[in-house]
A and B are shown apart, each in its own frame.
Chain A
Amino acid sequence: MFHIYCPYCEELREEEEFHPKGQAHIARPVDPEACSDEEWGDYLFFRDNPRGIHHELWVHAVGCRKFFNITRNTVSYEILETYRMGEQPRFTAGHPEGKPAEQVAAEAEAVSRQEGVKA
């Protein structure tokens, strides 16, 4: 069983309360009409299956019912971090030990300037 930290409830909860919803950070094409069949098919059906660090979308189904992201190691099953929608992961395939603090701060700053991210 996982013990998952919900970034909205701000505490660790049992896995029973959550549902996995697949790969995170899949952006819908800006102009679907201009997509080729292959691009649209990739967007709809094709998902990564990496060995190692993977970003996943989860929902706290029994609880606050909010979606959030988890960075998980698919080999060790270790959960490296959980973060809210609109935020960027600190642990990525390029930075398995975590990005340096100044880079994280710069990315958070960039996200907070996007319209609609801050309630």
Chain B
Amino acid sequence: MSDPVATTAFDTRPDTSVPTESPLAWSYHETGCPGVSQKSRVVLRERAMLGHLILRGGAIALDEALREVLGLALPARPGGLNHDSEGVRSIQWLSPDEWLVIVPGGEAFALEQRLRNALGGAHYAIVDVSGGQTLIELEGEAARELLMKSTPYDVHPANFPVGKGVTTVFAKATAIVRRPTEDRWELVVRRSFADYCYRWLLDAGEEYGVGVEA
């Protein structure tokens, strides 16, 4: 009998020496990136090539495996977002049986294999979606105002505390909006919507002197 882990998981980035392009590479080239200046009240930064994994299954089995492998607890409540002590690995609630794990680039495949080993015969699914989405960071005093112009979701601190993340409408696309720290917001957008969202953010952020750290 073949090893179930070996047959169901494959490395989407087997060789990191192969040149890769961020989903915004074309946007930087075509639209350009305004620099950060003294007047910038919001700074945009893409965190490209991170490892994104979708976990599906029962909360109890996934929680046990995740604690064992990553030392992270599964957010049980809707909208929950947990970070590890370094703040670089995160897990977010997406729906009652679905979670999004984001880890530094290159870690996703090893993590997927360790999770599969830890989960054993449990009923679950793990999908590596790293190539399908990208993460855009917004930082600065006007970041919340910029979001207020872009999404119908209430981003007031009373409704959107640190450690929350929701999937909602962003401009005319959809995005996951997350708030990992007090002054930083994250958008997880589809690769195919990345250029649209980037240009929307530049347009909407013009009045705040938006700058891009490429």
Contact = CB atoms under 8 A, between A and B. Distances in A.
Nearest to A12: B154
Contacts of A11: 78-79
B153 A64 contact: no
B168 A64 contact: no
Interface residues of A, number: 14
Nearest to A84: B96
B58 interface: yes
Nearest to A16: B169
Contacts, number: 39
Chain A interface SS verdict (over half): loop
B168 A119 contact: no
B148 to A, nearest CB: 13
A14 B94 CA distance: 17
Interface string B78-107: 110000000000000011111000000000
Contacts of A10: 77-78
A119 B152 CA distance: 32
Interface in B52-86: 58, 77-79
30 contacts: A8-B78, A8-B96, A9-B78, A9-B79, A9-B166, A10-B77, A10-B78, A11-B78, A11-B79, A13-B153, A14-B152, A14-B153, A16-B152, A16-B169, A17-B169, A62-B167, A62-B169, A63-B95, A63-B166, A63-B167, A64-B78, A64-B95, A64-B96, A64-B98, A64-B167, A65-B95, A66-B95, A66-B96, A119-B58, A119-B97
Q: Which 9 residue pairs of A and B lie closest in terms of their CB atoms, listed nearest first?
A: A64-B95, A14-B152, A62-B174, A9-B78, A10-B78, A16-B169, A63-B167, A8-B96, A62-B169
